[in-house]
Amino acid sequence: MGYRSIAIDGPSGAGKSTLAKRLAQELGFLYVDTGAIYRTVGLAARRRGIDPSDAPAVGQMLPNLSIAMGYGEDGLQQMLLDGEDVTQAIRENEISRWASKVAALPVVRDFLLGMQRHAAQEHNVIMDGRDIGTVVLPQADLKIFLTAEAGARAERRCRELLERGQQADFEQVLREVVERDRRDMERETSPLRQADDAVVADTTGLNLEESFALLLEIIQNRLGDGEGRHE
């Protein structure tokens, strides 16, 4: 039997990564966070002083970068940039903007496509992002479009930032969420959109446990208990 894949797409702050990580543990799948890969490219552009919207400049930078995805003993994804572990550095709020800008460039998306597909050829995966069901893994066994109202997502983002000891102003975070949604949905290349065959899960008003239960039910209905295991 081939490997199974579950694609989870949706706007930022819908809980994709937290939920996908837990689901992957539950099912014994590998969790692939594709946003982290775009964040790593954004971080690289920032460190090199390259305008993240300047396609030729970013395109020239790409072949000189070494970007690698690894997994720690805890099973969690780590990102390496030129050999340095940048797993934490890419989480800074500032990097979200850089990631969103480089992610709008076709040259960047093409460059990262093979790396994402490769992971799904060698493992059962739960992969989250914006274009997984539409572009990266159009043959995924299950596609989930995970969403929530912008206000609910901004609230969660604020809580996350505060937990990490970073500053969070709700109005500003909400503005950023709305702006990032717009940029992710309006870009020409691989915009964020729901795949025609995706199941929609709206987590507005649901807490983490409730959201988790909802997704697990969707997955079990579609894939059956434990059927995805390759061993």
* Interface residue list for ligand DC (CB under 6 A): 12, 34-35, 38-39, 96, 99-100, 103, 129-132, 180, 184
Distance in Å, CB of 60 to ligand DC, minimum: 20
Using the minimum distance from each CB to ligand DC, give the nearer residue, 4 or 39. 39
- C-alpha distances in angstroms, 173 versus 1, 67, 94, 226? 44, 29, 11, 38
Distance in Å, CB of 206 to ligand DC, minimum: 19
Distance in Å, CB of 90 to ligand DC, minimum: 8
Distance in Å, CB of 99 to ligand DC, minimum: 4
Distance CA 156, CA 160 (A): 6
Distance in Å, CB of 112 to ligand DC, minimum: 8
Distance CA 125, CA 35 (A): 15
Distance CA 228, CA 231 (A): 9
Using the minimum distance from each CB to ligand DC, give the nearer residue, 130 or 156. 130
Distance CA 146, CA 143 (A): 10
Distance CA 11, CA 145 (A): 9
Using the minimum distance from each CB to ligand DC, give the nearer residue, 94 or 227. 94
Distance CA 181, CA 159 (A): 19
Using the minimum distance from each CB to ligand DC, give the nearer residue, 98 or 227. 98
- 189 CB-side CA count, 13 A: 15
Using the minimum distance from each CB to ligand DC, give the nearer residue, 9 or 228. 9
| Termini Cα distance of the chain | 10
